[in-house]
Every structure is written in C-alpha cells, then in structure tokens.
Amino acid sequence: MSLDLFSSFTVGDLTLTNRIVLAPMTRNRAAPDNVPQAINIEYYRQRASAGLIITEASQVSPEGVGYPATPGIYNNEQIAGWHKITDAVHDEGGHIFIQLWYCGRISHPSLLPQQQTPVAPSAIRPEGDAFTADGMQAYVEPRALKTDEIKNIVSQYQHAATQAKAAGFDGIEVHAANGYLIDQFLRDGSNHRTDQYGGSIENRMRFLNEVLDAVSGVWPTNRIGVRLSPENAFNTMSDSDPQQHFDYVIKQLSSRGLAYLHVLEGNMMATQREVDYRALRDKFEGVYIANNGYDKARAETALAQGDSDLIAFGVPFLANPDLVNRLKTDALLNTPDQNTFYGGDEKGYTDYPFLQNTN
C-alpha cells in the first residue's frame, strides 16, 4: 500500500482521497451572534481538496465563547450557516468534521452572557490578555466550577454534537488541547481540584471521558476524533509529567474505537520537544494525525516511518487553498500574511491565489 501523502486512506467508514488534513484554525470571521457566513463557505470550499477538513474551533454554548467573531454550533441559525459550508465541501468531494470547543478560563466577561466570570477547573488566572471586541483586556481570575455544574457543560457538548449532525457534518472532533476547558482539566498546572475531577490523572481525565460518553450517544465512535496537546505551553499551560500522564490518557482513548487521535506535537512556544511522540503514538491503536510545523518532506518521512497516518497542515493551508496540488507538484507556496490571520474580510482569507492564477 502506498504511504505517500496523496494516497487514499480510510478513517472509520469514510474513504479520504489523500492523507492531508486541514488543521483547525481560528480566523475570527463569523457574523454577529457567532453565525457562519458567506465568506466562510468560500473559505472551506476552496480547501475541500484536503482528505479531511477539521473546522475552526466552534463553541458548544454561549458560555463557551472565548474570542469575538468565532462560530458556534448551538442554535438553529448556526446550523443553517454551517449546513451551507458542509454542502459546499461535499459538493467538491470533501469530508468535514467540526471541532467542538469550550474555552473556559481563556475568555473574558465581555464575551459571555450577563458579563459572567469565565469558569475553569480551578481559580487560576492565565497570564496575558484576552482578545475581545474592545481590544486586548487582561484575563480575569476564573471561577472554579462546582462539582454539580460539570454535568451541565457535558450536556452542552451533547447538544452541540446533535446540532453538528443536523448541520451535515461527517463527524466531530472534541477539542481537548491548547489550554481550553478540557485541557485545563487534563493538565495539573491548571487543575488543582480535590474532588473526583482532580488529583490523579484518572480523575483529571474524568471530564473528557464524560464528554466522550455523551457525544457517543449522538455519533458512532468512528465518527468522533479527539485533539490533545501534551506539552503545548500556549494559554499558560503546563503539566508535571506529560509523558506519563498522556501515556495514560491515550491508552484509555485507544479502547474507544475513535475515528482518530489528533495530536499537536511539541510546544507552539518553543522548538525543543520534551515528549516522545512516537511512544505516545504507539499507545493508540487507531488513526493518528500529527500536527505542528510539518512540511512535505517531514510529512512523508513521518508516514514512511509509521509515526503518523495523516498529517494536519495549518498556516500552509491558510495561505494556499490548493495546498494538495502544490505539494503534489512541488510548486512554490504563497507567503502567508500574518496581519490578516485573525478578523477582517476576504483579504488574507479567500483571496490567496490558486496555481493557475499566479502567472
């Protein structure tokens, strides 16, 4: 069987046309009330040649919001907006999963209903500033969730999973990475709880397990992915022993028959890695998606060595809607415009040229 980036691959009961994944990337271009809009349809349609699209993170409830102009998947207007996107991707022959998101402490009262205080496993304020509609504002100390409140958030994930099915998605990815609520529970730098959701890694994984149990009542497990980031320091995250702790997490996830495990390998804030990702990958008996700084050569090496089954590309796909064709033909890549990554209009979003338009 061919192991190159351009060979077909089976994920659950889906056959992908290649092993290239569009990584989830927040772009802050949703319409008011967190509703997907017309330019979002074009953005995803342009990138439908990916074997799999994983959408930008989409909040499961109004309380889960952490940034302005990010889409949700909790009301009928959002379903209608997303359905136009899934239809466009399917019309192009693509497959698309939605990433489900609850930001937790990475938020600000100005973004939340009734200016409420963001919640977290523990009342530990992250460093830095929140990105709000009124510019950058200092993070506030979050409120530690009461034990009996957690079930309500689990039910919000289940509702969002139901909404995602109604919107025509092929599956869902549970975002348990990069310093958002589930990751805040998983890592002991942000989870100082003393109840059944804190202390041991078994307890810290309880929230993720409850979310997965809930969404598995809506979707078959082979249409559910999970994203992890064992050592990413983004959003003031840390863990005392990421190798051992995520060894446990991944072993537990392996028994669920998930569509895939999607891992941000390394630390977005540094180049040196402290975790052995091949060792973690070997704990997962299923499809593994590698993410973080891959180019074509590194991706093909990872596939050939069995380090990964699929490769997720972020910024290269942002700037190259026809990335699959460019990689296949070894064409030059467009230069990304970092000034247009977050917010704005079509500029730096849907106006990057395709190969046939570069001459």
Q: Can you name the residues that pair with 312 across neighbouring β-strands?
A: 21, 291
- DSSP per-residue codes, 57-114: EEESSGGG--STT--BSSSHHHHHHHHHHHHHHHHTT--EEEEEE--TTSS-GGGSGG
CA distance 229 to 234: 10
Query: Do residues 197 and 204 lie in contact, with contact meaning Cβ atoms separated by under 8 Å?
Result: yes
Catalytic residue numbers, as ranges: 180
Buried b (16+ CB within 10 A) or exposed e, 92-128: eebbbbbbbbbbbbbbbeebbeeeeebbbbbebebee
Buried b (16+ CB within 10 A) or exposed e, 310-340: bbbbbebbbbbbbbbebbbeeeebbebeeeb
* Closest C-alpha among 298, 274, 302, 272 to residue 288: 302
Q: Are strands 171-175 and 96-101 parallel, antiparallel or unpaired?
A: parallel
CA distance 54 to 51: 10
* Closest C-alpha among 237, 241, 107 to residue 177: 237
Query: Do residues 240 and 189 lie in contact, with contact meaning Cβ atoms separated by under 8 Å?
Result: yes
CA dihedral sign, ordered 285, 265, 236, 109? negative
Query: Do residues 73 and 110 lie in contact, with contact meaning Cβ atoms separated by under 8 Å?
Result: no
CA dihedral sign, ordered 61, 30, 174, 125? negative
Residue position matching structure tokens 């989870």: 191
Please give the structure tokens belonging to residue 58.
Answer: 């989409």
CA distance 185 to 95: 30
CA distance 25 to 23: 6
